[in-house]
Amino acid sequence: MESDPPDLLALRKRLEEEESAYAAALQALDALASFPLPVESLPDLPGQAQRLNRLCEAPPAAPDGAGVKGRLQRSLWSAVAPALARQHEFASVLVQLLNGYLQESARLHLHLRDAAAALVRYVQRVLPVMDARDRMATGLATTHAELILEAFDRRQESMARRLEGLLALRDRVEAVSEEVRALRVALEPGAAPAAAAAALRAAEASSYTAFENRFRGTPEEVRERLSSYVPLFRDLAPVVDLGCGRGEFLELLRTEGIDARGVDGNAHAAAECRGRGLDVVEADLLGFLRGQAPASLGGVFAAQVAEHLPPAALQETLRQAHRALRPGGLLVLETVNPRSVLALLEVYNRDLTHERPLHPETLRFLAAAEGFNDVRVELRSPVDAASRLQPVPAEGLPAPAAQALNENVERLNAFLYGPLEYALLARR
């Protein structure tokens, strides 16, 4: 498998090689065990041996003829008899030796074939025994691994419970920290009653301030995410940041030399921004816009604010922004994209202060209805590709089927894992 680690791949290859060598050895043993005996490959051999034995049993007899011819034959026989006797003795010994060799050879071949057959039977029994051993070892290893995993799961559950407790404690510490920071302003010697009252209001909202700090991201992350909006507001000063929060966008505008002012309903956040030299007032956002002179602003920006407004307040905010912007001025509203299931479930639903999700077409229509021109929507914060559904490999599938499957994957990705946010851009 492609997901197997290199060590497992090497082990799998070695196992295949060993199994192949075992099969080859077993085949060679089978061939060796089936060799024919001499008596089987040479069927005439026993008859030839018997004939040879009969010829050596009777030595040549002396001639017994009469007359001159007989005497001549006996005289010749007397001359050659010793040589013939030695030849007969040599032949007898040779035949005896050959008989003994043939008998021993036959026993040896029979024994060799029996031994080879016994070895084949043994080897054939070895593999099942090895398989049984491997299965037993695998079973024991699996049982051991299951016990380890079970113990690990118990430990993980225990750690998860501890972690949940630590996270809850961290959340509480962050909320209390925000509350203490707000109350510190209220308790400073010589604090004006209005400032003290504002600090007390901030203390009451400390839990939500801690919530925003946790889930909105670090100031560095927010600045990185909002930096792409800065070029839109060049030559459009002054710019107002509604719901400026910790002032990340105001800092970006200040770096670019763009005059900007922030407004936030959280007195503590506004005070912290002013402590960093930012022009921020504590006020109601809609009330602040109503207080701006007509055509006095070049840009209005609000990130993650529109979804907190009731419908009537949202429409009034659009109306007042249109009134306060000069011709050519720009309104930018960033909000959660409800057309992405992931954004709706994991981003929008997390914040209890959200009023309702705003469909991009709805917000576009409301802006156009209030008189804005060149109204458009930009999708932002795309989901990482590794977190989206992956296309189906075309290998092994008919081309039309693979194409249809991947088209459906793309549709599901657009529906489930669409960009998390969108921005409404509207010109006065």
CATH code assigned at 361: 3.40.50.150
pLDDT of residue 63: 72
**Does residue 10 lie within any of the structural domains?**
no
Q: Is residue 259 within 8 Å of 279, Cβ to Cβ?
A: no
Q: Which domain holds residue 251?
A: 218-427
Q: Which amino acid is at 110?
A: L
Spans in the chain with pLDDT lower than 50: 1
Q: Are 332 and 361 in contact (CB under 8 A)?
A: no
Q: What letters, b where the CB count within 10 A reaches 16 and e where it falls short, cover 395-416?
A: eeeeeeebeeebeeeeeebeee
Q: Are residues 262 and 374 in the same domain?
A: yes
Rounded CA-CA distance 400/161 in Å is: 49
From 107, 126, 149, the end of a domain falls on 149
In a domain, 372, yes or no: yes
Q: Do 20 and 124 belong to one domain?
A: yes
* Inter-CA distances, 137 with 4, 12, 15, 130, 151, Å: 20, 17, 16, 10, 21
Rounding to the nearest 10 degrees, give the CA dihedral for residues 346, 348, 353, 357.
Answer: -160
Query: What residue has token string 């002013």?
Result: 274
* CA proximity to 289, closest of 326, 263, 310, 266: 263
Instruction: State residue 155's pLDDT score.
Output: 73
Give me the number of domains the chain comprises.
2
* pLDDT for the residue 411: 92
Q: Do residues 308 and 354 make contact, with C-beta atoms less than 8 angstroms apart?
A: yes
What is the rounded distance in angstroms from the CA atom of residue 254 to the CA atom of residue 223?
Answer: 12
Domain boundary among 126, 149, 172: 149
With vertex at residue 149, the alpha carbon angle to CA 148 and CA 153, rounded to the nearest 5 degrees, is: 120
pLDDT at 228: 95
Q: What are phi and psi of 283, to 5 degrees?
A: -165, 165
Task: Determine the pLDDT at residue 204.
Answer: 54
User: Is 272 in the same domain as 405?
Assistant: yes
> Where among 105, 122, 149 does a domain terminate?
149
Please report the pLDDT score of residue 169 as a whole number: 52
In a domain, 68, yes or no: yes
Residue for token digits 């024994």? 111
251 and 364 fall within a common domain: yes
Query: Would you call 147 exposed, middle or buried from its count of C-beta atoms within 10 A (0-12, 13-18, 19+)?
Result: exposed
Is 349 found in the same domain as 235?
yes
Residue 5 token pair: 């680690």
Q: Is residue 194 part of a domain?
A: no
**Each residue of 69-83: b (16+ CB within 10 Å) or e?**
eeeeeeeeeeeeeee
Q: What is the pTM of this model?
A: 0.55
Q: Does the bond joining 238 to the residue before it have cis omega, within 30 degrees of 0? A: yes
Phi-psi sector, 326: left (phi>0), alpha (psi -120 to 50), beta:
beta
Q: Please answer whether residues 225 and 217 qualify as being in contact, where contact means their C-beta atoms are separated by less than 8 angstroms.
A: yes
Residue with the two structure tokens 């691994």: 145
What is the C-alpha to C-alpha distance for residues 382 and 421, in angstroms, rounded to an integer? 8
